[in-house]
Structure 1
C-alpha cells in the first residue's frame, strides 16, 4: 500500500500515543462529530459470582422457601419476631425485596423498577466461567459469535456517533460483552482522559497536535473535535463532578463508577452504553440473611443505584438500567450456611419507561417437581428476551437478530 501523506500522519500520531498519550487516544483522534444516542442510554450492571435471586426478590408467600432455608431466609414482612430492618419489604403480597435494597423502594413505588424472576440462560453447566462467557457473548455454545452482544449491538446500529465514549466499561479493561468491531473504552476515572505531563509538556503536545492537524485539511475538523473532547473531560476532571443535591454515592468502587457514568451522561459526550461490574456474589459460606455478607453487597448496589438514579433524574426517560448475573443459586441452603450454584436468577430493570411496580416472569414455585433437576429455580424467561426487548423498544435497534443470531426473541412486556 502506498504511503500517503494522510496515512503517514495517522501512523505518526498512532506511534506517539503509546509514549505520551493515553491508550484511547488513537480512537479519539480520528472520529467525526459526536451524535446523540438514537435511543436510551443503557447502563448494564453485572453481578459476578451468581447472585442469589431468592434472597433478592424473596418469595415470602411460599412456605417451601422457608423450609429449604431455615437459617438464611429473609423474614416475611409481617414476621413480628424479627426487627423491621431484617424483614423483606412487601412488593406485591407474594414477593418481597431484601431489606438492604430499601433505597430502591421509591423507584418501585413510582413504577420505574421491575424484576424478571426465574430468568436466565439455557446453559446448564453451573460454571461461572462458562456461564459468564456465553452470557456476555449472547450465545448458547462456544461455537457462537466471538464478539460480545453489546459489541454486536453497536455494530448493527448506525447512530452516526463515533465518539470514543460511545461505549464505556468502568474498570481496567473493556468487558467481554462490549468487545467487537466498534471500539469501546475502559475507564477507571475521567481523570484518565488527559494529556500527561507538566504544563509546559502538555502545551507542547497541544501545539504539536495543532500543527499536525493543520497540515492535513481532511484531519483538521477531526483534530478540532479531539481537542474539544479533551477540553471537556479535562474540565470535568479539574473542577470535580458535583452530583445533584440529595444524590449521595457510597465511597465504593460501584458508587464511584456510577458517579463517573453520571458525569459522562450529563456532559453529553456521546455516551450510549456503560458497563460496570460488582464481584463477590459466590456465597457458598456464611451468606447471611437480612444482614451479613450478601446484605452488605446488596446495600452497596441499592445505595449506589439509588444515588445514580436520583442524580440523573432529568434523564430518566432516556435511560435504561439492566442488572444481571450469570445464574442463580440452589434453593436449599448448604451446610456452610450459604448456597451452592443454581440455575434461574433474577434480572432488574430501572428506568422511566420500565413497566415497573411488578415482578415479571412465570413463577412455577419451589416444590421439588417444579425445580430444575429437582434442585434449582427453573429458567422460564430467557435473558435474551429481556435484553432484546430493551434493545428494540428503548435503544431503537431493529436488528436484534444480528445481536442474538439464531435466537428468536419473545417480547415479554417489560418496557414500554
Structure 2
C-alpha cells in the first residue's frame, strides 16, 4: 500500500499545477463543495524565510561602530552611535554593534531577547556572482552546482507527516524559488486574491499537470488520490470562503505598502487560517547598492525600514500564533568594507542575518567579527566569512521544525550549529 506521503511526493498535488488564475474553476469548486467538510488542519510550527536578493550590506545594517578601520574606510557612509549633533544615530545594541536607525522597529524585540543577529555569516564559496551565490545558498550545497533540490524542499521532506496539505510549503512569489525545487510538494502563489498557483515537481508531477483538470478529477473515484483530493479541496475551500481582499490585520498591525509587506500579510493569513503551512518563503529585492547607498536616508535606509517594518507587522498581526512562528532572513553575500567612488559598496563576502521568534535565544549579536584592519579582511577587502550559513539555517530549522537530520538537510556539511535557538 503506497503511503499518502509517498503519493504526494510522486506528484499527487500536480492537480494544482496549471495556474489557477481568477479563482478556482467552477467544476472543481462544485466537487469540493460536495465533499464532507473536514475540520481545520492542526496548528503547526511555521518557519518563514525571507531572501534579501542583491546582497545586503551587513556592516551598515548592524555596524561595529567602535571600529576605527571601518570609519576610515567609509568616510561618507560610516554612521555613529553617538547621540550628539543632527541626525539619527545608530541604535546601540551592546556597546560595540549598532542597529541602523531605520530598523528601530527591531529594537524592542532585541531588548526582549526575541531577536537574534548573526554577523560574519556567509557561504564558504567565495563567488561574488549574485546568481551563483544565491543558487548555492538556496540549494544548501555551496560547492555543488548539480544539486537538484533546495534546502527548504528537503526540510519539507523531513517534516515526518503522513499527510501534507497543498499549503505545507508556500512561496509568495510569481515563480518557484530555488529553495523549493525538488520532489516534495510546494507551491508558489503570486497573490492569494487571484489564487495564482504554480507548481514545480518531479517529471511525474509535470506530466500530470499537463493533463486537464477534468481528467485528473476523474482519477479520484477511489483510493488514495481521492483522499488526497479531499484534503486539497478542503484547503482550497478555506481560501475560497475567505475575504482575502478585505483582510484586516490584527492587533493594530500596519504592513508597509510594498511587495514584501504584501507577501508577509498573506503569509499571516495562511498561518491564521490553519491550512497546515509549515514553511513559507518571501523575497525582498533591491539590495545591490553600488551607487548612492545613503546613510540614515537613501536606498539602503528605505530597504531596511521596509524589511524591519514588514517583519514586525507580521509579528504583531500573528498575536497568539507567535509561539508557533520563527522568521529568518538570508542574503547571498555582503558588501566591501571600503566605499566605492559612487557613494556605494561593491560585492563582498560576509553579511548578517536576523532571526525573530519566541524560541530564539535573542538579545545577542552572534559571530566573530574581528577589527576591520586589512590583515583581517578576506582577500584584503571584505568582512571575512566566519560563520557558515548552514550552521545557522540548520539550528533554526532543526529546533523550530524538529527535523534534526543535517545529513539530508545540508549534505557534505559537518560543522557545528550556532546556538541561536533556545532549548
Could you tell me the TM-score, scaled by structure 1's length?
0.85
Q: Structure 1 287/18 Cα, relative in aligned 2: closer, same or farther at 3 Å? A: closer
Equivalent positions of 1:216-235 (< 5 A) are 216=222, 220-235=226-241
Q: Structure 1 33/375 Cα, relative in aligned 2: closer, same or farther at 3 Å? A: farther
Alpha-carbon offset, residue 180 of structure 1 = 0.8
- Answer yes or no: is 1:73 the counterpart of 2:43: no
Which of 63, 67, 85 aligns to 1:58? It is 63
Whole-Å separation in 2 of the counterparts to 1:57 and 1:267:
35
Which of 45, 54, 63 aligns to 1:49? It is 54
Equivalent positions of 1:298-337 (< 5 A) are 298-337=304-343
- Answer yes or no: is 1:285 the counterpart of 2:291: yes
- Give the corresponding residue for 1:384: 390
Q: Structure 1 338/24 Cα, relative in aligned 2: closer, same or farther at 3 Å? A: farther
Whole-Å separation in 1 of the counterparts to 2:16 and 2:271:
30
Equivalent positions of 1:76-155 (< 5 A) are 76-83=80-87, 86-155=88-157
Whole-Å separation in 2 of the counterparts to 1:153 and 1:24:
29
Unmatched 5+ stretches in structure 1: 1-10, 196-207
Q: Structure 1 67/264 Cα, relative in aligned 2: closer, same or farther at 3 Å? A: same
- Give the corresponding residue for 1:186: 188
8 Å Cα contact 1:37/1:161 also seen in 2: no
Deviations 1:218-267, CA, capped at 9 Å, x for gaps: 55544443332222101223573211121000111111100000000000
Say what the alpha-carbon RMSD is for the aligned residues: 3.1
Equivalent positions of 1:149-188 (< 5 A) are 149-188=151-190
Q: Structure 1 343/220 Cα, relative in aligned 2: closer, same or farther at 3 Å? A: closer
- Give the corresponding residue for 2:205: none
Q: Structure 1 97/113 Cα, relative in aligned 2: closer, same or farther at 3 Å? A: same
Deviations 1:371-395, CA, capped at 9 Å, x for gaps: 1111100111100000111122111
- Answer yes or no: is 1:409 the counterpart of 2:415: yes
8 Å Cα contact 1:118/1:381 also seen in 2: yes
Unmatched 5+ stretches in structure 2: 1-10, 33-37, 198-213
Alpha-carbon offset, residue 34 of structure 1 = 7.9
Alpha-carbon offset, residue 189 of structure 1 = 1.8
8 Å Cα contact 1:190/1:236 also seen in 2: no
Could you tell me the TM-score, scaled by structure 2's length?
0.84
Whole-Å separation in 2 of the counterparts to 1:141 and 1:299:
34
Whole-Å separation in 2 of the counterparts to 1:18 and 1:380:
44
Alpha-carbon offset, residue 411 of structure 1 = 2.0
Q: Structure 1 19/386 Cα, relative in aligned 2: closer, same or farther at 3 Å? A: closer
Q: Structure 1 239/366 Cα, relative in aligned 2: closer, same or farther at 3 Å? A: closer
* Partner SS for 2:393: helix
- Give the corresponding residue for 1:5: none
